Structures are given as C-alpha cells and as structure tokens.
Amino acid sequence: MINKNVEEALNVQVQAEFSSAYLYLSMAAYCESISLPGFAHWMRLQHEEETAHALRLFNFVIDRGGHIDLRAIEKPVGSFESPHKMFDEVLAHEQLITEKIHNLYALSVKENDYPTQVEMQWFISEQVEEEKNAGGIVEQLKFVGDSSSALLMLDREMGVRLTEAK
C-alpha cells in the first residue's frame, strides 16, 4: 500500500504533468497562429509526452493501491512576445517540474517509500533530457535573433522531431 503523504504528492504531480501538457498545447496553438508549424509540431509532441508522464504516475498510484484525486488545471498562457520568449518559458517551466520531481524523490526517501524512489529516478533522468532539449532550443533562438530566414530554417528543423512520448 502506498504511503498517504506520497500518494498526495503524486496526485499533485499528476496535476502538474497534465498542466504541463495543457501549457504545451497552448504553445502549439500560438505557434500555429504565427505560421510556425514546425514549432507547433514540437509543442504537440511535447504535449503528448507530458500526458504520457501524467498517465505513468496515474497508473503508478493505482498499481500501488492508491487513490487518484484529479485536480483542476488552470488556463495556460496563450500568447508570447516571441518564439524565443516562449522557449525561455519552456525552460523555466521544465526547471520548475524538475524541482517538483526532486521534492517528490526527497519525500519518498523520508517516507522510506522505495518503489516511489525508483519511479522518481526515471523522472529525474527524464528531466535532465527535458532541460537539455529546451535549453538547446533557447540557445539556437539566441543565435537566430530576429532573422526571419534563420527562424524559418529552425522551424523546419523543429517540424521533423519524431514522436518521443514516453
């Protein structure tokens, strides 16, 4: 049976992962609205990946005999100053999620909840990848600046991202 403190924290994280998915879907809509279909594609895949993360935690709680308590998801931001500013927000958001995952791991250690520690190790590794990917795009956008032709080339590159939902 899952520890009640850990169960509560995992339910909060399920909400955070679904909120992340919703944020990325909103970002995809923004990218479509400014005619950057490659960026929109990247964001849609990110939406799918975050949804898969939420469902992974959802199933983990259920498999451990816990109770799922779905929480409300706030309306995400719908417009951004620029693609660069949007990806600054992506990176900051992923850093926030990393902090939440680290806190969950620390709680599972405190509560001697070994299965959750193992599950959180997977998420810790995943967050390293998430921050690396977002940070790399932020750096590329710094180089691109306001150049419309370079931005269109980066958009094309973003459009070839393969499905990576985990």
Q: DSSP secondary structure string, 11-44?
A: HHHHHHHHHHHHHHHHHHHHHHHTT-HHHHHHHH
Q: Tell me, what CATH number does 68's domain have?
A: 1.20.1260.10
- Residue 166 located in a structural domain: no
Which residues touch 166 (CB under 8 Å, ≥6 apart)?
49, 52, 53, 56, 126
Domain hosting 17: range is: 4-158
Whether this prediction's pTM lies above 0.85 is answered by yes
Our count of domains for the chain comes to 1
- Residue 119 located in a structural domain: yes
Which of 7, 15, 6 minimizes the C-alpha distance to 70?
Answer: 15
- In tens, the pLDDT along 57-81 reads 999 999 999 999 999 999 999 999 9
What residue has token string 């940070």?
135
Provide the pLDDT for residue 144.
87
Give the integer Cα–Cα distance in Å for 116 and 108. 6
CB 30 within 8 A of CB 78: yes
On average, the pLDDT of the chain sits at 94
- In tens, the pLDDT along 142-159 reads 998 867 889 999 999 999
- Residue 163 located in a structural domain: no
- Residue 90 located in a structural domain: yes
**Cα R_g (the chain), whole angstroms:** 17
> What is the CB neighbour count within 10 angstroms for residue 71?
12
- Residue 164 located in a structural domain: no
CB 65 within 8 A of CB 1: yes
